[in-house]
Amino acid sequence: MEHIYFYTEGSVEFPAFFSEKQADAWLEAIAAHYGKRLGDLNYIFCDDEYILSVNRRYLQHDYYTDVITFDYSHGNILSGDVFISLDTVRSNADLFAVTYEEEFHRVLCHAVLHLIGFKDKTEPDSAQMRQNENICLDLLKTL
């Protein structure tokens, strides 16, 4: 049985457009699209400084990022902890000339795609990740 939780850390607040009910249905639809099921999934929305501390402490990386995904999946059951810096999501939206809402949703599904097994460290993997993000964003439009 799935348990999806959404938290905020520090001074950030959920975006005004965010709907936990819609996110639950969408994430479940993404998993099903790829033949997977959701297990325990925790989304922690935070600021840049918080995600930098997570990056340093657990990954020994000394840089800001938009999303960090810790994968606890087993077989076809997707589980994990996902940290998302809303500061970086907002600045990336400006950088990529998209709305904050679109970039937010892209990062939300990006984490699930990592849990499914998609990578993004090489150019071909990044292209495949982007293609799958677009598939997920199209799924959102059907809800």
List pLDDT tens digits, range 42-58: 999 999 999 999 999 99
Map tokens 């293609």 to a residue.
131
Domain at 92, CATH number: 3.40.390.30
The answer to whether 115 and 77 are in contact (CB under 8 A) is no
What is the total count of domains within the chain? 1
Determine the pLDDT at residue 1: 61
Q: Residue 2: pLDDT above 80? A: no
Q: What is the mean pLDDT of residues 83-112?
A: 98
Contacts of residue 29, defined as CB under 8 A and 6 or more positions apart, other chains included, come to 139, 142, 143
For residue 98, the enclosing domain spans 3-141
Tokens (6 digits) for 9: 């850390």
Mean pLDDT across the stretch 117-140?
97
pTM for the predicted model, two decimal places = 0.95
